[in-house]
Structure 1
Amino acid sequence: MSTRLDYSKYSSLLKPLFAMHAQLRQSSLEPLLIELVLLRVSQINGCAYCIDMHTKDARAAGETEQRLYLTQVWREARAMFSERERAALAWAEAVTHLGDHGVSDEIYAQAAAAFGEEELVQLNMLVVMINSWNRFGVTFQMEPGRYQAAA
C-alpha cells in the first residue's frame, strides 16, 4: 500500500483540526488518558498511521507496553485500567460506533460519573477529532512508520 495523496500540502484546510488537537492537549484530561483514547479509536477505525503515531506518543509520555497491547481488549483486562480510563474508553467506542441508538444511558452515566461536564465535552471533542484524523489516514492510506514521537 502506498500513500494516495499527501494531504499535509493543504495545511490551511487542516488548521482547525490542528488547533483542536492543541487545545485538547492543554485540557484537564490526563496525557496518558488522551493517548489511550486516540489509540483505541484509531484501532476501531483501522488507521495504521494513527495507531503507529499514538503508540509512539503514549510510550514517550510514559505508557507501558503491556497497557498498549491490552488497549484493544481493555474490557477483558479491566484491572489494568482505572475506572476513569474505562469510562473514557467506553465513551470513545460508543461515540465512534454511534449506530442507530447513539450512546446508551449506561455509558453516559458511567462517563458523567467519571468526568465533569466540561471534561465530558473535552473527551467528546477528542473522539470527534481522532475520528476526523482517522478518516484522512485511512482514506489517503497514510503509511505507518514515518512518524517520530517528540522526545
Structure 2
Amino acid sequence: MSTSSQDSHGPRIDWAGFETHAPEVIKALRALGQAVDEGGLDKSLTELLKVRASQLNGCAFCLQFHLNLARKLGVPAPKLDLAATWREAGSVYTARERAALQWTEALTLMADRPIADAAYGELQAQFSEKEIALLTTSIGAINAWNRIAGSLQFTPPIPKAVA
C-alpha cells in the first residue's frame, strides 16, 4: 500500500523539537527578519508578502503564523483574504503592494521560471534600492522558513478563539 505525499499524521518534527535541536538556526533566521524590520520597511507590507509566499509554498504553519501577525498589525481583511488572487482584486492593493506581491511570486517561483525584467522594473518604480534589498531579503527569509516548517509539517498556530 503506497502512501500519498499529501497524507499527514502530524508534524515530522514539532516546533518545540526544532527549537530544541536547532536553536542557532532559529536565532539566525530571526536576526535576518529583525534586520529587515529595523531597515524601515512597513511591517504590514512584509507580513502580506509572507502570507503570499507561504500560500505559494503550501506552508500551513507559516501561513497561519503570518496571518495572525498581520491581523494584529491591522492589515485589512480584504488584503489578507484576497492575497492568493491579488491580480484580480482590483483596487484592494496599492501599486506599491502589487509590485511587491509580484516580486514575492517571482522570487518564490524562480526555480520554475526566470524573473522577468518587467517585474523588477515595476519594483523599481515603487521602491528605493534599499527597500528592494530589504524586500528581497524578507522574501528569501520567509522562503527559508517555509521550507523548514512546511517540510517538517509544523502544526499551524491556530488562535484559541478560532479553534
The alignment's TM-score, normalised by the length of structure 2, stands at 0.85
* Residue aligning to 2:111: 99
1:56 aligns with 2:64: no
Q: State the alpha-carbon separation in 2 of the partners of residues 136 and 31 from structure 1.
A: 22
* Residue aligning to 2:153: 141
Q: State the alpha-carbon separation in 1 of the partners of residues 67 and 40 from structure 2.
A: 21
**Displacement of 1:101:** 4.8
Counterpart amino acid of residue 123 in structure 1: L
* Residue aligning to 1:3: 11
Greater Cα shift, 88-97 or 5-14: 5-14
Counterpart amino acid of residue 57 in structure 1: L
Counterpart amino acid of residue 63 in structure 1: V
* Residue aligning to 1:120: 132
Counterpart amino acid of residue 36 in structure 1: L
Q: State the alpha-carbon separation in 2 of the partners of residues 146 and 13 from structure 1.
A: 24
1:45 aligns with 2:53: no
Greater Cα shift, 78-87 or 93-102: 93-102
Q: State the alpha-carbon separation in 2 of the partners of residues 59 and 114 from structure 1.
A: 24
Greater Cα shift, 11-20 or 90-99: 11-20
Q: State the alpha-carbon separation in 1 of the partners of residues 112 and 157 from structure 2.
A: 36
User: Which structure's CA Rg is the greater one?
Assistant: 2
Q: State the alpha-carbon separation in 2 of the partners of residues 46 and 100 from structure 1.
A: 16
* Residue aligning to 2:3: none
Flag structure 2 segments of 5+ consecutive residues without an equivalent.
1-8
The RMSD of aligned alpha carbons is 1.5
* Residue aligning to 2:92: 80
Structure 2 CA distance for partners of 1:8 and 1:147, relative to 1, 3 Å: farther
Q: State the alpha-carbon separation in 2 of the partners of residues 145 and 117 from structure 1.
A: 34
Counterpart amino acid of residue 138 in structure 2: L
Greater Cα shift, 18-27 or 54-63: 18-27
Q: Percent identity?
A: 34
Q: State the alpha-carbon separation in 2 of the partners of residues 111 and 66 from structure 1.
A: 23
**Displacement of 1:147:** 6.9
**Displacement of 1:15:** 2.0
**Contact 1:41/1:93 (<8 A) preserved:** yes
